[in-house]
Amino acid sequence: MDTDVFRDEEKGGVDMEFKNKQAIYLQIADYVCDHILSGKWQAGEKMISIRELSILLEVNPNTVLRTYDYLQQQDVIFTKRGIGYFVSETAPDRILGMRRQRFFEQDLPEFAKKMQLLGIRFDEIRESIT
């Protein structure tokens, strides 16, 4: 994410700065995926409930439900009827694949366009990051 969107969760909340360029449910999906990739939520572990996450993020529960539906379709999480949502065993690999695809389809073309408009060459980029 572009900005630091997390406040100390131990103090009872998360300060999420939603961006206009992306749907809120997708931003919440990034939040969930960040927690999985960082190891805060492990494969096979029960997820925070829709209601709890909606309260934590101060969003409508239907928005979190849409996030969970999306992540379930991506095989990042799964549901056990009557119990709740769980992190899938393949979640980290699925997330990395999704993010790589997004990078190549959205971020890289936008970056290349900005480079072209600003007259920046690839060798300048290489020099600046080494």
Three-state secondary-structure class, residue 41 = coil
Q: Where do the structural domains in the chain lie, given as residue ranges?
A: 9-129
Using a pLDDT cut of 90, give the percent of the chain over it: 78
Phi, psi of 34 (to 5 degrees): -60, -40
Using a pLDDT cut of 70, give the percent of the chain over it: 88
For residues 6 and 42, give the distance between their C-alpha atoms in angstroms, rounded to a whole number.
19
Q: What is the CATH number of domain 9-129?
A: 1.10.10.10
**What is the reported pTM?**
0.76
The whole-number pLDDT of residue 15 equals 62
Phi, psi of 61 (to 5 degrees): -55, -30
